[in-house]
């Protein structure tokens, strides 16, 4: 075999969308040859997708005429030859206008191809002792489902160099269906918008599961006990190829419970270990991660808090959230969304105050902790905005807009909206409220978040007190859209 040498590295588009031919530089002399078979930095710069391979396979064939395919796998492949020559045939089996498009080429060590998921591929060896290698961006599984096409399909009309009646073909490949019987691989447009929502049963999780499909995303929700993001083994074996985006709305939010010996362990497990697992997966697989943070990572002395403020948590809950934040930033494609005083469909401060008002209770409520409520309609809307617009990755503050208020102000407004005298709410200091109680976590007194950065992307949350009015007076305390 003679292998061309000195050819410059280059990438060529083909008639199959996303399918690329790569010319690989081969350096040869009397001793043999050498090539950089996979060089991420150079190839990505030339236009190869940064597809994050996780497995490398080699197919060795003793004889010429060994013919494999046509299979369309649910992962991307980078295929090249180590020794020998193969004839390659590729047929687009994806749903859409390019369905049935064919591309063929001979591959030797100086040629490689990038095969997007859903494109059928077949290879026929042209020399004995041929070996070709392929990088894939998902681990092979016996449960994987392939879309297949007959090697001798009349519509594809592939010009096999070695006639199929003289080729070496498995019985399984001989039984593949013709093109008119193939169920197309799902359209590529569905990729890039497949979202896994962790903590899907929480206030934010439920709102995301409602809003994401309305925005054109495919959303899958998971939560404990079925899926535990802090379980590294479970995360390693999870079917990540089905997703492009992870929105991590899972968290341990019992602020006082986190101060107990058991709660401390659980808080760190959920708020730090879990996000660290997701960040590792995201970095390995090129997934976008949206992680929900909290103003509790600050001590509340420097509000309104900016995105680049150094963490200064007062208690275990805030410390565990700060640990998770640090881990998530290790994933290059992340949105760290910091929020405060979240209200949605579920147990929350407003519903507690409404219940007290209905029972005629005159509560004492702290008036020296200030901030803004964040309704899940705004929080979910802001997350979807970041994803939909392709905003720059990084940290974004996201709360309701409007004036800063105290918890006592919020409680008084709830009482007023329900027809009670707001004076029934007695304002007290945080120190007075928790006097004599043990195991109470320290709270940041100033929870205000500066919203300049996210508003510069074109998203402006609603006034939080206007949201409050709608929430209290709307049907069953629903989160206003």
The Cα 36–Cα 158 span in angstroms is 31
Sheet containing 245-248, strands listed edge to edge, beginning at the edge strand earlier in sequence? 218-222, 194-198, 245-248, 288-294, 334-339, 394-397
Helix (H) or strand (E) holding 347: none
The Cα 292–Cα 290 span in angstroms is 7
- Bridge-partner residues for 133, per DSSP? 58, 80
- Bridge-partner residues for 114, per DSSP? 20, 78
> Do residues 415 and 424 touch, judged by C-beta distance below 8 A?
yes
- The CB density around residue 31, as the number of other CB atoms within 10 Å, is 6
Q: For tokens 């193969």, what's the residue?
A: 86
The Cα 4–Cα 161 span in angstroms is 21
The Cα 133–Cα 50 span in angstroms is 18
- Give how far Cα 41 sits from Cα of 37, 50, 109, 284, Å: 12, 9, 20, 16
Select which of 103, 123, 132, 134 is catalytic: 134
- Give how far Cα 105 sits from Cα of 36, 121, 158, 267, 396, Å: 21, 11, 11, 56, 48
How does 73-112 read in b/e, with b if 16+ C-beta sit within 10 Å? Answer: bbbbbbbbbeebbbbbbbbbbbbeebbbbbbeeebbbbbb
> Do residues 303 and 406 touch, judged by C-beta distance below 8 A?
no
φ and ψ at residue 219, rounded to 5 degrees? -115, 135
Tokens of 222: 């998971």
433: annotated active-site residue? no
- Terminal CA-CA length for the chain: 67
334: annotated active-site residue? no
CA atoms within 13 Å, Cβ hemisphere of 247: 32
Q: Is 125 exposed, middle or buried (0-12, 13-18, 19+ CB in 10 A)?
A: buried
Closest CA to 119 of 193, 53, 185, 57: 185
Instruction: Find the angle CA(273)-CA(275)-CA(280) to the nearest 5 degrees.
Output: 95
The Cα 403–Cα 448 span in angstroms is 10
Select which of 52, 71, 146, 393 is catalytic: 71
* Active site (catalytic) residues: 71, 134
């Amino acid at each position: 075999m003679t292998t061309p040498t000195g050819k410059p590295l280059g990438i060529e588009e083909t008639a199959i969308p996303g399918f690329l031919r790569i010319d690989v530089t081969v350096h040869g002399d009397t001793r043999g040859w050498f090539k950089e078979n996979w060089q991420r930095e150079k190839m990505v710069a030339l236009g190869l997708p940064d597809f994050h391979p996780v497995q490398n396979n080699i197919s060795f064939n003793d004889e010429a005429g060994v013919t494999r395919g046509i299979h369309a796998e649910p992962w991307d492949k980078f295929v090249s030859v180590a020794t020998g020559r193969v004839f390659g045939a590729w047929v687009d089996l994806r749903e859409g206008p390019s369905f049935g498009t064919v591309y063929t080429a001979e591959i030797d060590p100086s040629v490689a191809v990038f095969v997007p998921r859903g494109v059928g591929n077949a290879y026929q060896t042209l020399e004995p002792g041929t070996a070709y290698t392929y990088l894939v961006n998902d681990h092979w599984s016996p449960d994987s489902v392939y879309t297949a096409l007959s090697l001798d399909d009349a519509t594809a009309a592939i010009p096999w160099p070695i006639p199929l009646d003289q080729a070496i073909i498995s019985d399984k490949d001989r039984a593949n269906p013709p093109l008119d019987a193939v169920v197309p691989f799902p359209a590529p447009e569905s990729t890039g918008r497949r979202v896994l929502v962790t903590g899907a049963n929480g206030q934010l999780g439920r709102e995301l599961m409602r809003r994401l499909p309305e925005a054109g995303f495919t959303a899958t929700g998971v939560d404990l006990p079925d899926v535990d993001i802090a379980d590294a083994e479970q995360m390693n074996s999870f079917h990540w190829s089905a997703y492009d985006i992870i929105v991590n709305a899972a968290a341990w939010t019992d602020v006082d419970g986190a101060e107990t010996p058991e709660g401390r362990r659980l808080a760190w497990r959920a708020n730090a270990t879990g996000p660290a697992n997701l960040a590792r997966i995201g970095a390995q697989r090129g997934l976008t991660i949206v992680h929900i943070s909290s103003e509790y990572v600050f001590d509340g002395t420097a509000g309104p808090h900016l995105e680049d403020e150094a963490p200064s948590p007062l208690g275990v809950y805030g410390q565990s959230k700060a640990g998770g934040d640090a881990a998530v930033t290790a994933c290059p494609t992340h949105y760290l969304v910091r929020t405060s005083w979240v209200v949605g469909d579920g147990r929350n401060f407003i519903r507690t105050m409404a219940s007290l008002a209905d029972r005629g209770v005159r509560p004492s409520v702290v008036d020296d902790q200030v901030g803004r409520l964040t309704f899940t309609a705004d929080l979910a809307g802001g997350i979807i905005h970041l994803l939909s617009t392709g905003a720059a990755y990084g940290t974004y503050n996201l709360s309701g807009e409007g004036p800063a208020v105290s918890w006592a102000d919020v409680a008084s407004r709830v009482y007023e909206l329900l027809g009670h005298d707001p004076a029934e709410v007695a304002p007290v200091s945080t120190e007075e409220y928790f006097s004599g109680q043990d195991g109470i976590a320290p709270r940041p007194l100033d929870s205000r978040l500066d919203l300049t950065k996210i508003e510069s992307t074109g998203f402006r949350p609603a006034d939080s007190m206007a949201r409050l009015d709608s929430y209290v007076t709307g049907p069953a305390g629903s989160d206003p859209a």
